[in-house]
Structures are given as C-alpha cells and as structure tokens.
Amino acid sequence: MARAKTVYSCQHCGYQSPKWHGRCPDCQQWNSLVEEQSLPVTSHSRALAEPGRPIQLATVDCRSEDRLRTGLGELDRTLGGGIVPGSLILVGGDPGIGKSTLLLQAFAHLAANGIALYVTAEESVRQVKMRADRLDIATEHLYLLAETSLEQIKQRIVELKPAFLVIDSIQTIFTSNLDSAPGSVSQVRECSGQLMIQAKSLGLPTFIVGHVTKDGAIAGPRVLEHIVDTVLYFEGDPGYPYRILRTVKNRFGSTNEIGVFEMRGQGLREVTNPSELFLAERPDKSAGSVVVPALEGSRPILVELQALVSASSFGTPQRTAIGIDHKRIALLIAILEKKVEMSLAGQDIFLNVAGGVRLDEPAIDLAAMAVLASSHLNRIINPKLVIFGEVGLTGEVRAVTQPELRVKEAARLGFSECVLPRKSIKNLEVPEGITLTGIDQVSEALDIIFI
C-alpha cells in the first residue's frame, strides 16, 4: 500500500513544500502553509482517464459544438452563446451575492432538455426547496442531492444519468482517497480533476461553485482555474441591487463579456438594456457629471462618471476613486496640472462610477478628466453630450477600439453630441441625430464640452 507523506501546502496558490514556511515562497502570502497528508502520485485516483492515442490533425472533426441555451440570455452571453457539452464551468462570488440563485434559475430552464442534478453540499434539500418556492420553480426533471462525498456523487451520477450537473460548492466536497480536510489544496485539486475527467468522458456540462477569499479571488489553489474551461465571477455592490456576471476565462468564447442582473425578491431578473438602467437617476444640469460609453466585450454600456473636487482641510489631500483604478486617476490629475495648468494640488478629489460598475479600459480617460475639470471649475457639461478617448502623458487624445458601437449606443439613447478622438472618426458611419466632434488635445475638449 502506498505510504502517505506530509507536505505543507499554500492555501492561496497551491505551492507545496516538505517543511513549513511562515511566508509562501511563491505567492508571498503570510501564514498560508498548512500541513496535509497526501498520497503519492502513484495513487489509483490519479489514473482515471483512458490512455489517449495519437490522432492526425487533418482527421479531427472541428465542427462547432451545439450550444445549449440556459434560458437566461445574460448568462448565455457570458458563456459565449450557451453551454458547450462536456464543459466544466467555475462560478465564483462573494457570499450571498446570488450564485446559488442564478444556477437554480438556469437549471430550472435546462431541466426541460434533460435531467438536471443539483448537488448541494452546504445546504439541506429543504433549504434549496424553500429557495425554489420563492423563485416559483417547479419542474419534474430537476433533482437535488445533499452529499459531500465525491465517490457517492459519482455513483448517483451513474445511476441517474443527468444531462446537467451543479456542485455547490467545491470547497465542501472531499474524496476518501485523501486524508486532508475538505477545502484544502489537495482535496480541491483532486476533486476538481476527477470532475473534469467525468465531464469530458460523459459529455456532462458541469457547474462548480467556488468560494471567494477576502481579496476577491477564488479560494483554493490557482490550479483550479487552470483545470476548468470557463471562469465566471458574480460581482455586485451590497448597496445596489444590480449584479454583474463577468467572464474571466473562456475556452469557448470571449473573455470580455458581462451579463447584468437585478436582484429582486423573486430572484434575479435580466437587465437587457443596462445603459438606461445606469442613467435612470442621473441629475439634470449638475457640475461634476458626465456620461461615457464604455465597452464590455461586444456590449457598449453608457455609465455616469461623477466627481467632487473641493479644497482640502488637511495637509495631504485625499484621492478616492470608486470603480476606476486610483493609480490611473492620479496619472490623469498630473496631466491636468501639467498640460492644462489646472491647480489641483490642494484639492480633495473623489471620483465615482454610478451604479456600482467597474471600468478598466483606457477609453474613459478623457471623460474622467472632463468631469474633474467640471467639478473644479463648477461648470456644467452639456447633458446631451457623451465623451470618450484615451489620453497620453503629453495630453494628446488617442484613438480607441470600436468607436462605432459607442456612438450608436449614445445615439440610440437620445444623446445629440459626442466628443471623441479625431482619428476615431475616420471611416465612421455617423448615426442620425448625433454630431461628432473630433479632438487631438485635452485642452480642446475643455473648450467645447461646457454649457
């Protein structure tokens, strides 16, 4: 019989060492190494897949997979158009954000195409039934299984032969082949590997729910994200009812897509037009407010940027940015001071993306500088104007990707003027009802955007 050995595994990145370290040599996390008992690699649990044979590349059938619709258009968007048979999908998010609710609603629709098995390893079947009643879910082909043993789960899969599977959550599943506790690096890696082999061999689409650490990353080893085909993060500000499902990794589609939902008492409701939602409470004719057309994957979203610039009462002015990288804002403030000669050294600066959205693309640079100038000068930006563009360190405005999608979305929502990089206007079809103004420098924008 194979003899067990003791290793120290980092619970953050999966690094293993024969001796304990106060700080992980790989990810530099403190006090993250935990003693575990693991079997050698020769364990039978490692040899689950059938041995493969070399296949000529020219003989491989590369026809597109038939995707299965979940009944939730926003979820299908993030998955690249639907579920690919045999795919392994990891869904992460903060506790209580709505991961279980989302998957239960999706499986209620998927059960119309075959048997769906929902493995609840953290809640009892009665708790899940109570949630299903609240969501008004009643289907004969949705089965519940309260189990934490991987061997028992695999046995029930063989007996039931489901067409869809949910594991909620992977941190509570364990295999008897390992002596370590559920949720440890060894257990998460081993259980995920076996579920991946099962999904590929049976063509069984499998959703895995993953816990999230205090830093916002999925708990457990990073190898978990490498094993799965798709990684989805369910995000949301506790102060807002809106939830954003973001694709971080997708082997079958784009990694920049998002889905928008609204949490209600009856469950999650799809938001098919998030631009109107994020602009619904925008104040009229107020300084420090501007609309920017951001791009999330292939979807343009109009969001409101708000800024507040006021004289500081302390020796060191405050710089706070919500929804935008604060380092990027510090860079834009420096450009305003150097190139536009705007004195902001003694000012407290607060910048916020209304609606709880997070923007990471450089196309919002020009809008951020415009709204800062608006608040500092106490001048109102034209409420029917949108603005976008990347700003360089010398104050030049650079072209951005997909300007036609941004302009069309702005025109559809009734905006009459758009300020954008001059180079982005080339070969751009102008929608009816909107005027485009191209600029090359930040100072040019500040001369034309105010009322």
Contacts of 389 (CB under 8 A, 6+ apart): 363, 365, 366, 367, 397, 398, 399, 400, 419, 420, 421, 424, 439, 445
Q: What φ, ψ does residue 373 adopt, rounded to 5°?
A: -65, -35
Q: How many helices (H) and strands (E) does the chain have?
A: 11, 21
| Other Cβ atoms within 10 Å of 209 Cβ, number | 26
Is residue 98 part of an annotated ligand binding site?
Answer: yes
Determine whether 419 is exposed, middle or buried from the number of CB atoms within 10 Å of its CB (0-12, 13-18, 19+).
buried
205 exposed, middle or buried (CB, 10 Å; 0-12, 13-18, 19+)?
Answer: buried
Taking the alpha carbons of 355, 360, 364, 370 in that order, is the dihedral positive or negative? Answer: positive
Q: Are 34 and 9 in contact (CB under 8 A)?
A: yes
Strand bridging mode 258-264 / 385-387? unpaired
Q: What's the burial of 364, exposed, middle or buried (CB within 10 Å: 0-12/13-18/19+)?
A: buried
Task: Please tell me whether 96 is known to bind a ligand.
Answer: yes
Burial (0-12, 13-18, 19+ Cβ within 10 Å), 85: middle
The answer on whether 97 is annotated among ligand-binding residues is yes
Contact (Cβ atoms closer than 8 angstroms) between residue 286 and residue 266: no
93 is in an annotated binding site: yes
Cα 373 from Cα 342, distance rounded (Å): 8
434 in a labelled binding site: no
Annotated binding-site residues for ATP read 93-100
Which residues are known binding-site members?
Answer: 93-100
